[in-house]
Amino acid sequence: RKEVEQDPGPFNVPEGATVAFNCTYSNSASQSFFWYRQDCRKEPKLLMSVYSSGNEDGRFTAQLNRASQYISLLIRDSKLSDSATYLCVVDTGRRALTFGSGTRLQVQP
């Protein structure tokens, strides 16, 4: 079983739609959680950290459920520029980030 699992998608949504991604992790000792965004074959870029209390950054909302060991990302009012791969990332405190395989989002006009 992978340490971090994501639905690979693709999620094809129209502009203006709301879309949600989930991610599960297996290591209950995981300490920190993040969503990264990656455009085609470019470097991953930090989108937002994920806190137990949930956090919001504009159209993006991230939630963490430690009891069920899953993380979610909600994108409201999708833009064409949101098309990318979204990587769920977990820090287990072993000096390395563990990345999921990513969920691909395609926003269509």
Partner 1 sequence: ETGVTQSPTHLIKTRGQQVTLRCSSQSGHNTVSWYQQALGQGPQFIFQYYREEENGRGNFPPRFSGLQFPNYSSELNVNALELDDSALYLCASSLDPSGGTNEKLFFGSGTQLSVL
Place of tokens 């079983």: 1
73: DSSP letter: E
Please choose, out of 14-22, 56-64, 76-84, 99-107, the segment that lies near partner 1 by the rule CB under 8 A.
99-107
- For residue 80, which phi and psi values (nearest 5 degrees)? -55, -35
Q: Which amino acid is at 99?
A: F
Asked whether 46 and 34 are in contact (CB, 8 A), the reply is yes
4 contributes a contact to partner 1 by CB under 8 A: yes
Considering CB under 8 A, how many residues would be counted as binding partner 1? 25
Please choose, out of 9-17, 44-52, 54-62, 67-75, the segment that lies near partner 1 by the rule CB under 8 A.
44-52
98 contributes a contact to partner 1 by CB under 8 A: yes
- For residue 26, which phi and psi values (nearest 5 degrees)? -100, -25
42 contributes a contact to partner 1 by CB under 8 A: yes
What does the binding site for partner 1 look like in residue numbers (CB under 8 A)?
Answer: 4, 8, 31-32, 34, 41-46, 49, 87, 91-102
